[in-house]
């Protein structure tokens, strides 16, 4: 019973954080946070191995696909991200704002 309550508490905390993020953070901040959450360290690089489309990212953070595409393009051109096939590499820390 205690395990179930801990699981429910964790779920409620996560949902509260998600709602707070949607209400208080801009699209760029939500995207940057999501990219970091999806990334894993592989060969001393931050890599998003999960194949995730711009539409899936948009749905996850409550934004339009077009806005995600624009931000991702700007981050790529700025040298922050490298996208090879469907793998996203985070080359350096993402800027605080966009």
- pLDDT at position 86: 85
pLDDT score, position 13:
84
Rounded CA separation 17/5 (Å)? 18
In this structure, what token pair is assigned to residue 27? 């699209």
Q: Determine the pLDDT at residue 82.
A: 95
Instruction: List the domains of the chain with CATH numbers.
Output: 26-90 (1.10.10.10)
Rg (the chain; Cα; Å): 15
Cβ atoms 3, 11 nearer than 8 A: no
Bridge partner list, 46:
41, 90
- pLDDT block averages, 10 residues each, the chain of length 98: 88 75 77 94 92 94 95 96 92 86
């Amino acid at each position: 019973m205690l395990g179930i309550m801990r699981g429910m508490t964790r779920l409620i905390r996560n949902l509260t954080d998600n709602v707070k993020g949607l209400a208080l953070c801009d699209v760029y901040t939500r995207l940057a946070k999501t990219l970091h959450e999806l990334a894993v360290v592989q060969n001393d690089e931050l890599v998003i191995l999960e194949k995730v489309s711009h539409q899936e990212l948009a749905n996850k953070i409550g934004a339009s696909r077009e806005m995600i595409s624009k931000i991702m393009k700007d981050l790529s051109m700025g040298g922050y991200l490298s996208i090879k096939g469907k793998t996203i590499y985070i080359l350096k820390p993402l800027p605080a704002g966009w």
